[in-house]
Structure 1
Amino acid sequence: MDDETTRPGEGPPVETLVATVRGVLPSLTPAAQTVARLILDDPGMVARSTITELSAASGTSEATIVRTARVLGFAGYPQLRLALAAASAARPAERLVPGDLAPDDPLSEVIVKVSRAESEAIEDTVAQLTAERLGVVVETIAGARRVDVYGVGASGLVATDMAQKLLRIGMTSNAFTDAHLALTSSVLLRAGDVAVGISTSGETPDVLGPLRNARDAGAATVAITNNPRSSIAQVADHVLISAGRETAFRPGALASRISQLLVVDCVFVGVAQRTFDSSQRALQATRTAIGDFLRSGRTKP
């Protein structure tokens, strides 16, 4: 995997701290997850608590709290508290904890909560998507012989979107949303090819297996995931972090997909810029082909 997403001892940027905690939550130990959930539920309370107070509130040991802070990239709990305090001061409470949907929420509240989750997913993804990381992926894909994209479920929709975008600008690209076909594709890749794995959790076996095979076959590997500590992030040469959460009422939520689609769109535009002449020719050719087809269909009796 490429360079770490956090600087040693300093932790993630304040503006993405809560999103980072949410992303790494599935890869934490049960005890550390308890601490992390308190951070997500009430970051202000954690910022005000001493390590002894947080230990009592979470029912975990002080050592677990320190380990959790270090997993998040901080030197220790005092640095985590300072970051949470800064995050609480920089953003209103409702921004830090957007709130889940409840069975009795009126539709007016559903609109507010869903739209806020989508907009926050975009903001958090933008904050974590650096030009340096994006640039390396763009250059890798722009020079590829072939780009295969793996994803299942909601991430499979994003994989299909990425492959069709690259196809429109003349690149050889395929999306595989079936595990057997993905595995078949992955072992046939070679140096000069690129494999992209898309998984919110970063632990989807149907994506992780093909990406690992592609790496072993010599292809460059890219992961798009919420969790920078996930298995898929460890397999990939390059990792792009998305930020959207799925909930009980919104599995495969638009917030997860829209953050992944944002990353894909940025990659696509970057590749189209790097290959401008050939991309423009391909786009014009595909527009003409589709336009001719539609016009011929309208002229038939």
Structure 2
Amino acid sequence: MNEIPPEPELGDLLERIQERYGTLRKSERIVADYLRNNAGKRLDSSITELGRTLGVSEATISRVSRALGYDGYPDMKLSLAEGTRNRAPIVNLPLEIDDNDSLISTSSKLAGLLVSGIAGTQRMLDAHRLEQAVDALVRSRRIVFVGVGGAAAICDEAAHVFLKAGFEATSYRDGYTQTIVASTLTENDVLVGISHTGSTQTIADSLLLARANKCTTIAITSNPNSEVAKAADVVLATWSGGQQIVPLHGDFLEGRASQLFLIDVLYVSALFRVGDKASKALKTTGEALEKRYRGKANGKD
């Protein structure tokens, strides 16, 4: 006989869902998923309206409410309404997140924001532009990534993975060096400029300079109408939600995740195009790194 699980302690809704999710039935999880995906929002629907929206019975919603430690649906709605009042958002954090959230609630909301950004970027991917970008990368003699601030870190990671796969790849993060490098690129090279807002003038200038030398230029930005986008031959757009983005921790973390996602798409696609050459390069660099650091660990360095 199955034991009845103990009543959950009063606490954040997402924490309760996390604790009880495994005990819920399939139809009840539909309700729990809806609550989790809409955490931080006021629940104005009646139990009948919510049931109709989700395609479940009122009894199912009531069972979920009680399973989460509430007396019923009205009690859960009241609790949610009280949780949305008098919030004092911290600068540079999305409004969905505040200091009243539990740790599991914060992690769940952050995961939702990042997943939404990547999913939105996937929906916006243009097959023809993606083909153009991958073709250019595979044919290139040299690949150069340029960005500033948070985008520079994405450029460093991009150069790192392409370099390990046998591509001649580098990244530059200051405008002075970016200008020098862009002026030396030719039709055999590719310059990838990354800017979330598309307003970074040094990136736009570098793309224009390289493009004038017939170098293939690729822009990764959330604004297809920006100066950075206009300066490139190929534009790969990241999702921005169509509204003012709140920078997370002083930067656009959702944008960075989407940029990294596009870099991975380009990288994996290029690997498949190159085939054995990339496979051998990855094996060679992997063995060299293993030898280097395993020897160091054994005191042979």
Tell whether the 8 Å contact from 1:101 to 1:110 is kept in structure 2 after alignment. Answer: no
The amino acid that maps onto 1:220 is T
Worse overlay, 101-110 or 285-294:
101-110
User: 1 CA distance for matches of 2:130 and 2:182?
Assistant: 23
Q: Deviations over 1:73-115 (max 9, x none)?
A: xxxxxxxxxxxxxxxx9xxxxxxxxx62465442454333322
The amino acid that maps onto 1:122 is I
Length-normalised TM-score, structure 1: 0.64
Q: Secondary structure at the match of 1:296?
A: helix
Task: Tell me the equivalent position of 2:69.
Answer: none
Tell whether the 8 Å contact from 1:244 to 1:259 is kept in structure 2 after alignment. Answer: no
Task: Tell me the equivalent position of 2:149.
Answer: 153
Q: Secondary structure at the match of 2:137?
A: helix
Tell whether the 8 Å contact from 1:244 to 1:257 is kept in structure 2 after alignment. Answer: no
Deviation at 1:262, TM superposition (A): 0.4
Deviation at 1:253, TM superposition (A): 3.0
The partner residue of 1:205 within 198, 201, 226 is 201
Task: Tell me the equivalent position of 1:192.
Answer: 188
Q: How does 1:81-100 map to 2 (within 5 A)?
A: 100=95
Q: How does 1:11-160 map to 2 (within 5 A)?
A: 100-101=95-96, 104-108=99-103, 109-160=105-156
Q: State whether structure 2 residue 210 is matched by structure 1 residue 214.
A: yes
Deviation at 1:206, TM superposition (A): 2.3
Tell whether the 8 Å contact from 2:247 to 2:253 is kept in structure 1 after alignment. Answer: no
Structure 1 unaligned residues grouped into runs of 5+: 1-88, 90-98
Number of residue pairs the alignment of both structures matches? 205
Quickly say closer, same or farther: Cα 1:298–1:200, change in 2 above 3 A. same
The amino acid that maps onto 1:177 is R
Quickly say closer, same or farther: Cα 1:235–1:106, change in 2 above 3 A. same
Quickly say closer, same or farther: Cα 1:275–1:205, change in 2 above 3 A. same
Q: Which runs of 4+ in 1 moved over 6 A?
A: none
Q: Deviations over 1:93-139 (max 9, x none)?
A: xxxxxx62465442454333322111100110110113322111000
Task: Tell me the equivalent position of 1:294.
Answer: 293
Quickly say closer, same or farther: Cα 1:264–1:249, change in 2 above 3 A. closer
For the pair shown, the structure with the greater C-alpha radius of gyration is: 2
The amino acid that maps onto 2:217 is T
Q: State whether structure 2 residue 260 is matched by structure 1 residue 264.
A: no
Q: Secondary structure at the match of 1:148?
A: strand
Structure 2 unaligned residues grouped into runs of 5+: 1-52, 54-93
Q: Deviations over 1:225-273 (max 9, x none)?
A: 0011111111110010112574155432321111000000000011111
Tell whether the 8 Å contact from 2:201 to 2:228 is kept in structure 1 after alignment. Answer: no
The amino acid that maps onto 2:260 is L
Task: Tell me the equivalent position of 2:274.
Answer: 275
Tell whether the 8 Å contact from 2:150 to 2:251 is kept in structure 1 after alignment. Answer: yes
Question: Which one has a larger percent helix, Structure 1 or Structure 2?
Answer: 1
User: 2 CA distance for matches of 1:250 and 1:157?
Assistant: 15
Tell whether the 8 Å contact from 1:154 to 1:252 is kept in structure 2 after alignment. Answer: yes
Question: Sequence identity, in percent?
Answer: 27
User: 2 CA distance for matches of 1:185 and 1:248?
Assistant: 30
Task: Tell me the equivalent position of 1:252.
Answer: 251
